Amino acid sequence: MSDIVLGDVEVTRVEEMHGPVGMTPDVFFPGSPKEEWAEHQSLLVPDFLDADTDICAIAVQTWVLRSEGKTILIDTGVGNHKERPYAPFWGHLELDFLGNLERAGVRPDDVDIVINTHLHVDHVGWNTRLEGQYWVPTFRNATYLMPRADFEYWNPANNPRIAGGVNQNVFEDSIAPVHAAGQVMLWESSYLIDSDLYLQSAPGHTPGSSVLMLDSGTDRAVFAGDLLHSPFQIMQPEHNSCFCEDADAARITRRDILGRAADNNALILPAHFAGHGGLEIERAAGSFRITRWAPLDRL
Ligand SMILES: [Zn+2]
């Protein structure tokens, strides 16, 4: 099963890729002690950690929402044919993501709204596709919602540090062409999508990082973007990934969003969880505990 119905909203998981990410826990989550990983190993192996190689695993996926007659995508993966000198494992891909999307019943022209939870390389890739030698918007009829803080931060004209990092070329090939086509709406703080869905700023991982809150009927969910990269961070929320731009803010935001999810029985659906893709949690001795996995087939 790759669908869940939450209130009036239908949620479908569409995979771009999943598997080992090439990093051991101490590299992916700097400073996280081996003993803590050992303590939680039974929860993490095999979907999130390979026991033999000690390499972490993730998925790159898009959450498709159908709400109030609209088709909404949350994050657009890595994309095909992109030049990624500092993330070579994500360069020049030729994956059938659009085929996966079509098999989920979504053609590119059907998409009404694209949400980029933040503007990292692996969340904006399918914003565009290569047509001849030009990058053009993949979703011609969509409004792309982007956090203004990330739009400004990841523009190399504002931040020369982008060159030489994993986001090199990303603004030019996956963001600027959509903006030039007049399809970008920049938002700050919060943004109401419809009566069941709203975006909320959740800074730390990046300055503009955001989450999408779903509140429909008796169901609640939070699409948590990159606030979490492994269920390890549910039990040990103090540990950031190596890609968090502001370590202190990322920790505060993670605890805040996890606390709200625990108190509201919200299903947490991060961007990168392989396995069942999401989970429910409860508070436990200053931290959190997993109570239930999402009812989705394992990747
Ligand atoms: Zn990511």
Mean pLDDT for 276-294 is 96
Q: Which residues have C-beta within 8 Å of that of residue 288, sequence separation ≥ 6?
A: 234, 235, 237, 258, 259, 262, 281, 282
Calculate how far, in angstroms, residue 287's C-alpha sits from the geometric centre of ligand 1: 23
Calculate how far, in angstroms, residue 266's C-alpha sits from the geometric centre of ligand 1: 21
Calculate how far, in angstroms, residue 205's C-alpha sits from the geometric centre of ligand 1: 10
pTM above 0.75, yes or no: yes
Calculate how far, in angstroms, residue 124's C-alpha sits from the geometric centre of ligand 1: 10
Which pLDDT score is estimated for 172?
Answer: 97
Interatomic CA distance for residues 16 and 78, integer angstroms: 8
Calculate how far, in angstroms, residue 73's C-alpha sits from the geometric centre of ligand 1: 15
Give me the CATH code for the 3-293 domain, please.
Answer: 3.60.15.10
Calculate how far, in angstroms, residue 271's C-alpha sits from the geometric centre of ligand 1: 7
Calculate how far, in angstroms, residue 210's C-alpha sits from the geometric centre of ligand 1: 12
Calculate how far, in angstroms, residue 245's C-alpha sits from the geometric centre of ligand 1: 13
Q: Which residues have C-beta within 8 Å of that of residue 144, sequence separation ≥ 6?
A: 113, 114, 115, 116, 127, 137, 178, 183, 184, 185
Calculate how far, in angstroms, residue 59's C-alpha sits from the geometric centre of ligand 1: 9
pLDDT tens across 42-56, in order? 999 999 999 999 999
Per the prediction, the chain carries an average pLDDT of: 97
1, pLDDT greater than 80: no
Residue ranges covered by each domain of the chain: 3-293
Which pLDDT score is estimated for 161?
Answer: 86
**H or E stretch at 267:** strand 267-270
The DSSP bridge pattern shows strands 210-216 and 197-201 to be: antiparallel
Calculate how far, in angstroms, residue 112's C-alpha sits from the geometric centre of ligand 1: 22
Calculate how far, in angstroms, residue 61's C-alpha sits from the geometric centre of ligand 1: 10
Calculate how far, in angstroms, residue 227's C-alpha sits from the geometric centre of ligand 1: 9
Which pLDDT score is estimated for 263?
Answer: 98
* Residue whose tokens read 């011609």: 140
pLDDT tens across 155-209, in order? 999 998 888 899 999 999 999 999 999 999 999 999 999 999 999 999 999 999 9
pLDDT band at 132 (very low <50, low <70, confident <90, very high): very high
- C-alpha triplet 25, 233, 35: angle, nearest 5°: 50
Q: State the DSSP string of 106-153.
A: --GGG--EEE-SS-STTTSGGGEEEETTEEEESSTTPEEEEEHHHHHH
Calculate how far, in angstroms, residue 209's C-alpha sits from the geometric centre of ligand 1: 11
Calculate how far, in angstroms, residue 136's C-alpha sits from the geometric centre of ligand 1: 22
233, pLDDT greater than 90: yes
> Helix, strand or coil for residue 166?
coil
Which pLDDT score is estimated for 160?
Answer: 87
pLDDT band at 134 (very low <50, low <70, confident <90, very high): very high
Which pLDDT score is estimated for 157?
Answer: 95
Calculate how far, in angstroms, residue 87's C-alpha sits from the geometric centre of ligand 1: 12
Calculate how far, in angstroms, residue 226's C-alpha sits from the geometric centre of ligand 1: 5
pLDDT tens across 70-94, in order? 999 999 999 999 999 999 999 999 9
Which pLDDT score is estimated for 33?
Answer: 96
* Omega of the bond leading into 295 within 30 degrees of 0 (cis): no
Calculate how far, in angstroms, residue 58's C-alpha sits from the geometric centre of ligand 1: 9
